[in-house]
Structure 1
Amino acid sequence: MLVTISLSFYLFTIPGMIMYLIEIYSLKSRNINKIKLKFILAQLSVIVLQLNNATNFLFYCFAGHRFRQAAVQTYYGYSALSKTFFHHYILRNKEYGYARAYGHPVSHSAQTALTNRSSTSPYYPRSPYKTSPL
């Protein structure tokens, strides 16, 4: 696994490093065709550098057995949670209680947090009117 990722890193970064060295040590030319070619090669080397990041996931999937297992477990765990959420809260149309300070539904833990706040909380202003310090 480590050899695969390291080899892909070197293969994808070598063209970018060569292009970088060419740009640093090359003489400045006024030939428009050479400038265009240099620009195109520079852009291609950036694309190849970005391919390193894009292909790491694929290499992990192909070469890493533990990574595949963890990815499958994560997917099925998330899938089960989303089905549970959909069933309990969407299909059953579960209602929450209303908080006194607000006019929208909140859960029980949020209701408890609202009742435990002090009177100096930013949610309970001291005065209904704003006063300016000037």
Structure 2
Amino acid sequence: RCMAVHSPFLAKRFCTAQHARFSVYVLVFLAFVLFSATSPILYTVDLNQQKCVIRGHLKKLIRYIKPAIFYFVPDILLLANLFVIYELWLATRLRKKTLTNPNNSISLNAANFNRKQRQLTIMLVTVSVSFYIFTTPAIIDYIAQVNPPQHHDVKKLKWRFLRINVTVLILQMNSVTNFIFYCLAGSKFRSACLDTLKEGYDQLLYLWYRHIMNKKNYEKPSRYNARLSGCRQLDTVDENRKRIFGDRQRRSTSIIANNNNSSKRPSRETILN
């Protein structure tokens, strides 16, 4: 963003997805190398507890190194955002001095660009300042715990325990308030958040309707099989009835045919006469 504000032509060359991906890989590699190189120096193996612990002569030093590392990246971000604010202020002054017609398209495009950059910068500065506000009490208390208490006063120990938990709670509020600051200071973030919630709601509805349809499709074959088995039973009953009725009809026709044949046959007396 600093490069995009200070030199837009260089931003088109360097501010690309490929360069960003390469920068992330370099940072991860450097962090891995730094951690691997410093771990044997800072830590040692405790055979009694069977775990790695910080070396005794480095415990106090670590109390000061960790906060410095903890604030290193936010300091860079805050300085970069302040630099962006300064560059936008210079660009606004320069545009007011050089442009004679403030209603032309170049002025409008520059104003829109500066307005968007200003909104984004305000949002990031707010997040950085809130980070310092919410994390400073925990860091101060962390440094103050260099020397453990030597007394056994219950009230002081309870107060110390309460102070530690309150500072940790304030530290965790930093992550909670980031979302609120993003929503308040960034219109694009609000629209993107609403679109994400809408897409998630539509996806849940789709999964729910799909579950209902799968359930119905699962119940339909069972009902169909039950009905089919019932129809098959009815068909077998009808076939048995038809078979019985056909046997009776054949018997009745055979009896009628025999009677007719016997009635047509001439008797012995008529032949003799």
Interval of TM-score (by shorter of Structure 1 and Structure 2): 0.5 to 0.7
**Alignment of 1:69 onto 2:69:** no
CA contact (8 A) 1:88 1:94 kept: no
Call closer, same or farther: CA 1:36–1:87 in 2, change over 3 Å: closer
Q: Partner letter of residue 135 of structure 2? A: T
TM-score, normalised relative to structure 1: 0.60
Call closer, same or farther: CA 1:81–1:32 in 2, change over 3 Å: closer
1:34-82 CA-to-partner distances (Å, cap 9, x unmatched) read 2221111011111111111122111211122111111111111222233
Corresponding residue for 2:167? 45
**Alignment of 1:17 onto 2:162:** no
3-state SS of 2:168 partner: helix
Call closer, same or farther: CA 1:86–1:33 in 2, change over 3 Å: closer
Q: Normalized per residue, which structure has more helix? A: 2
1:93-120 CA-to-partner distances (Å, cap 9, x unmatched) read 5648xxxxxxxxxxxxxxxxxxxxxxxx
**Alignment of 1:3 onto 2:125:** yes
Pairwise CA distance, 1:88 = 4.9
| Structure 2 counterparts to residues 1-134 of structure 1, below 5 A | 1-25=123-147, 28-91=150-213, 95=217
Q: What is the distance in 2 between the residues matched to 1:31 and 1:43?
A: 19
> What is the aligned residue count?
96
Q: What is the distance in 2 between the residues matched to 1:27 and 1:87?
A: 61
Q: What is the distance in 2 between the residues matched to 1:3 and 1:51?
A: 17
Call closer, same or farther: CA 1:27–1:79 in 2, change over 3 Å: closer
Corresponding residue for 1:121? none
Give identity over the alignment, percent.
36
Pairwise CA distance, 1:89 = 4.8
In structure 1, stretches of 5+ residues that fail to align are 97-134
3-state SS of 2:145 partner: helix
Q: Does 1 or 2 have the higher relative contact order (CA < 8 Å, sep 6+)? A: 1
Pairwise CA distance, 1:32 = 2.3
Runs of 4 or more, structure 1, over 6 Å off, are none
Q: What is the distance in 1 between the residues matched to 2:215 and 2:154?
A: 67
Which structure: larger Rg?
2
Q: Partner letter of residue 164 of structure 2? A: A
Pairwise CA distance, 1:27 = 5.5
Q: What is the distance in 2 between the residues matched to 1:83 and 1:29?
A: 61
Q: What is the distance in 2 between the residues matched to 1:26 and 1:60?
A: 39
Q: Alpha carbon RMSD of aligned pairs, Å?
A: 2.4
